[in-house]
Amino acid sequence: MSSKRSRNPALPVLADAFRLASVKEAEEHTRDFAARQATAELRRASHPGRATWEPIDQAEPVPVPPTVVDGDGDLWLRDRAAGTWTMPGFNPKEFQARCGEVLTWNQLACEYGPLTALADDRRRR
């Protein structure tokens, strides 16, 4: 997880999913993955206009959103020229060091997914 608190409380976050019975009942070694999948499902249900990608969605979407919110609700911005992602609110006292690095879509999705577009972008698909 990238942070201890949610930055975008309007979206369900991993902490919400960890409270679900289905996640609590998952085997310990699969619980994190179950929570990430549940978070994606919760986001799709509560915000059907926003695109949400699961950690297993390794292909960068087309069109690529300029901003996404990770599983903890933290914002990530895409550098269009480099095609990489950074966390503008990175604070080393609050986040793990990896959040301060420049990540590819694959790294971001796998390590911090699910990812959700900041705005309603389904109309562009």
Contacts of 23 (CB under 8 A, 6+ apart): 17, 31, 34, 35, 38
DSSP 93: T
Q: What is the pLDDT of residue 5?
A: 45
Q: What is the pLDDT of residue 119?
A: 72
CA dihedral 56, 58, 64, 65 (to 10 degrees): 30
How far is Cα 93 from Cα 81, in angstroms, rounded to an integer?
29
Domain segments of the chain as ranges: 14-124
Q: pLDDT by residue (tens digit) across 39-52?
A: 999 999 999 989 99
User: Sheet containing 84-86: which strands, arranged edge to edge?
Assistant: 52-53, 115-117, 67-69, 75-79, 84-86
pLDDT band at 7; cut points 50, 70, 90: low
Q: What is the pLDDT of residue 23?
A: 95
Q: pLDDT by residue (tens digit) across 72-97?
A: 999 999 999 999 999 999 999 999 89
